[in-house]
Amino acid sequence: MKFFRIDLLTLLISLFILNSCKNQDTVGLAPNGIGALGGSLVDTATIFTNTTYDDSVQTASMTKLPLGLFNDPIFGQTESDLITDLNLPGSLAYTLPAGNIVIDSARLLLNYADGFYGDSLGSSYTVNVFQLTQRQNTGISYYNTKKWPYNSSVLLGTKTFQPRERDSIKVTSIISGAPDTTIKIAPQLRIPIDPNFIYQNLFRASSTTLASNLIFKNIVKGFFITVDKSQTTGVGGTMMFQAPTDSALAVYIHATNGSVIDTEVVYLPVTQHATQISHTYSQQVQASLNLTAQNISDSVMYLQGTAGLRAKISFPYINNLFKSLGTSNVVINRAEIIVTVAPGSDIPAYLVPQPKLTLYRYDIAHQPIPIEDASSSSGAFFGVGPFGGFYNSTTRNYHFLVTGYMQELISNQTKDYGTYIATVDTTNTSSVDIAPTAQTASRVLAGGNNKKQPYGIKLNVIYTKVNK
């Protein structure tokens, strides 16, 4: 499509001014239907919506790891299990301390990360630790759908607790050859581990095993950490833990060597991890998925983290809409998609809506790519903030800037191979995430293709007619 230079100049100036504000909610559509810089408003565009399964996630590269059991009263049940390896101290050949060794205690240390979702006050959790029967191999991509085998007949450790991911704790620091001291450390979960497991696999291991970290890992395999369904009370929840850079099995010992008795802590580091996630959806979610299978647009959208659910949206009549208005050639001054939380879906109070959503599209190979307004290489991109997707607790909605994308669609410069709205972790603030994630556990029940309700999804477009 060809435009007069003055039309192009108008478009560029409009886009720059309308998108330069950091808070996009303050730059919107005038209530009388006329854009702030002039133009006509269309707010009747039809959007088809369908809930779909999210793509699987490669979990070894994640920086936050979900662990939990959450019975969402609307979505259903989510189980998240944690898989770790176990290494010799220093991940090198290990020499046993001199003298007679006695284990005072052993703790598996897991550092909390921000992102708990569920009932932290009315639920208690019991976490069990078992030994894997298959170890993780370096260089292999393990996805959240993999079922990890473990020895369920031997319980290595257990802990009943309430998650306190923001509360630091005090522990005794063991200093070899010096008095022990009490220190404050970052929030962490400390799971007692059976001393006999350490005796058999470390202090009574063969010299061959202790001479090679690889042989040790092949024998020990690692840990399978899971929430005990029978012991966890209430609706539960999903906790987030840091990728185990600082995680370890801490073994507290005292060694008697002649008349000398010394205390020491031996750390067996954790360097690899994976996550196993399964969802059992409620009848109402399953009904929505059945509509998707029948290619029927739904009036609601279920959006869920932990690699759960996303929504596919489409604009089947967008070109015909402008033709029916007698404006087949238009410049889009501003376009935004508004997603609104369905009433009552955040009751009880722990069902807080996901703080950030993302919007992306598929390319011709059905691979996720940013839309024009979310790509730093596009002239339509004005930053992560202006693009949007952040939850506004006052208006109870999310706004996405889609000006460039709509312009490309109506001018037939691109084809909609699939456009999706999904949950996203809030950690990244420098770019728009488009990959599926298990690093957030919260969810949103939002309005879909429902023009009869005020919370239905909306596409608002301010446009200007262009002369050929």
Per residue in 309-320, pLDDT tens?
999 999 998 888
* Residue 257's pLDDT band (cuts 50, 70, 90): confident
* Residue 344's pLDDT band (cuts 50, 70, 90): very high
Burial 96-111 (b: 16+ CB within 10 A, else e): ebeeebebeebbbbbb
| 246 phi, psi to nearest 5 deg | -105, 5
* Residue 43's pLDDT band (cuts 50, 70, 90): confident
pLDDT at position 17 over 60: no
**Mean pLDDT, the chain, whole residue set:** 88
pLDDT at position 308 over 60: yes
Q: What is the mean pLDDT of residues 338-358?
A: 96
Q: Which residue has the tokens 């312009």?
A: 407
Percentage of the chain lying above the pLDDT 70 cut: 87
| 13 phi, psi to nearest 5 deg | -65, -40
At residue 253, the pLDDT reads 92
Task: Report pLDDT digits (tens) over 179-195.
Answer: 666 667 778 999 999 99
Q: What is the mean pLDDT of residues 237-260?
A: 87
Q: What is the mean pLDDT of residues 429-442?
A: 94
Tokens of 392: 């506004």
CB 233 within 8 Å of CB 123: yes
Neighbours of 409 (CB within 10 A): 22
CB 75 within 8 Å of CB 353: no
Q: Which residue has the tokens 């706004």?
A: 399
At residue 427, the pLDDT reads 86
DSSP output for 153-222 = TS--EEEEE---TT--EEEEEP-TTS--EEEEE--EEEEEB-HHHHIIIIITS-HHHHT-HHHHHHHH--
Neighbours of 326 (CB within 10 A): 7
CA dihedral for 410, 414, 416, 420, sign (positive or negative): negative
Q: What is the mean pLDDT of residues 382-392?
A: 95
CB 332 within 8 Å of CB 438: no
* C-alpha to C-alpha distances, 224 to 78, 165, 221, nearest whole angstrom: 17, 21, 10
Task: Report pLDDT digits (tens) over 137-157.
Answer: 988 889 999 999 999 999 999
Poorest-confidence range of 12-26, 240-254, 293-307, 328-342?
12-26
CB 236 within 8 Å of CB 118: yes
At residue 172, the pLDDT reads 61
* Residue 3's pLDDT band (cuts 50, 70, 90): very low
Task: Report pLDDT digits (tens) over 189-220.
Answer: 999 999 999 999 999 999 999 999 999 999 99
Tokens of 362: 């598929």
At residue 354, the pLDDT reads 96
Max mean pLDDT among 172-176, 243-247, 415-419 falls in 415-419
Rg (CA), the chain: 27
Beta bridge partners of 341: 446
